[in-house]
Amino acid sequence: MPEIQTKIWMALRTRIEAISPAIPTAWPAEVFTPPVDSGSVPAPLPYLSIGKVTAPPQRVLIGRGKHWHTGSVTIVRVAPLGPPEEAHTEAAGKIAAHFPEDLLMPFMGVCVRVVSYPTVADGYRDGGYWRVPIIIPWRVAA
């Protein structure tokens, strides 16, 4: 049976995989090649880059029992430069809306909860791309 950390990650990953329309995704620790348009002049296409931060567990009660597991998953929408900033922010906002406050994401006996509406952070230039981070805070009692 998977450990609690794996169950939490799989609950989050399953929800990210359900983003529609599907967007190529660079998952942590997995090989990824940024997508390109296969037209006559190859051009880069948008994709998501996933990161995560996990805080140390906190005991709920003295003695044996549940712990609070907390953290955040960061989904960075990466898209080629060109459209105005508000177009990139709007696309990131649609991803954030996929993770509404109090969303429950069950996986193998744990239930990950989104604790507040995600933060759509300010975008920034990175080479020929515009990156907009979406930060999704979560918590689990397990």
Residue 80 has what DSSP assignment? E
- Looking at the predicted structure, is the pLDDT value of residue 62 above 80? no
Rounded-to-integer distance, Cα 11 and Cα 18, Å = 11
Rounded-to-integer distance, Cα 123 and Cα 113, Å = 26
CB 134 within 8 A of CB 77: yes
- Which residue type, as a one-letter code, is found at position 20? S
Rounded-to-integer distance, Cα 16 and Cα 61, Å = 32
- Statement: the pTM of the whole predicted model exceeds 0.85: yes
CB 135 within 8 A of CB 87: no
- 81-122: pLDDT as tens digits: 999 999 999 999 999 999 999 999 999 999 999 999 999 999
Residue 138 has what DSSP assignment? E
Domains and CATH numbers, the chain: 4-27+43-141 (3.30.2000.20)
